[in-house]
Amino acid sequence: MSSGAAQLTDQLDPASTVLLTVECQRGVVGPDSALPELADAVRKSGALARVARLVAAAHDTGVQVLHAVAERRPDGRGASRNARLFRAAERLPVQQLTGSTAVRIADPIPVAEDDLVVRRLHGLSPLAGTEVDALLRNFGCRTLVVTGVSANVAIPNAVFDAVNLGYTAVVPADAIAGVPADYTTAMVRNTLALVATVTTTDDVLTNWRRPRGGR
């Protein structure tokens, strides 16, 4: 085993790894998405199907799964308005309203009883200003596997915040998506690869299936 492969195996120890899905909700990546271009990209690229495979494998190997969902109250209370993105989202035909079908985890991603769903009303990151960091520490997490959308905003935010908080970030590059499609490749190569371990879905799955001594 090469040093790089050995490092990845150590990073992906199921006992200290958490899998994070970012905004893999019906109103974002589903057929009735508020962002049809992004939904099209995540499905045509196969990224959504790969997220589903990773979640299923996490369930089988005892890796904790967190689903990060972005939503808003019908009255908009607590929502951020300090960026163009937020103000544009208010005008979209599909709203990510608390309790609606839009904020349910999208098919074909399986959701198990032990999964946790963390919902946020504000900001750009699944970690900043949410309970995710405390949950990760309580789980004994050292490595956070980041998947989902979008490579434009939420994914890099999640990776940067994880690294700043002391976690090792692992990004299966074929299990994230953004728009335009080639932007994801550029973001991974020029930014995420500098701060995270970039890998593939198949490599993560192979490592989770690998027998480990003393377990």
Alpha helices in the chain (DSSP H): 3-11, 26-29, 36-44, 47-61, 84-89, 132-138, 154-164, 181-187, 193-195, 201-209
Distances (CA, A) of 10 to 4, 24, 170, 203: 10, 27, 12, 13
User: What is the pLDDT confidence band of residue 6, given thresholds at 50, 70 and 90?
Assistant: confident
**Which is more confident, 213 or 29?**
29
For 181, half-sphere exposure in the C-beta direction (CA atoms, 13 angstrom radius) is 12
pLDDT for 96 beyond 60: yes
- The residue assigned the tokens 């890998």 is 199
* The pLDDT of residue 118: 98
Q: What is the pLDDT of residues 49-61, one digit of tens each?
A: 999 999 999 999 9
62 or 88, which is more confident?
62
Residues in the chain: 215
Specify the pLDDT at position 93. Answer: 87
Greater confidence (5 vs 101) lies with 101
- At 67-85, the pLDDT tens digits run 999 999 999 999 899 999 9
Residue 1: band (very low, low, confident or very high) from pLDDT cuts 50, 70, 90:
low
pLDDT tens, position by position, 181-199: 999 999 999 999 999 999 9
pLDDT of residue 4: 76
Closest residue by Cα to residue 51 from 28, 79, 77, 78: 28
68 or 91, higher pLDDT: 68
Assign 214 a pLDDT band (cuts: 50, 70, 90).
very low
For residue 31, pLDDT over 70 is answered with: yes
**Can you give the pLDDT at residue 3?**
66
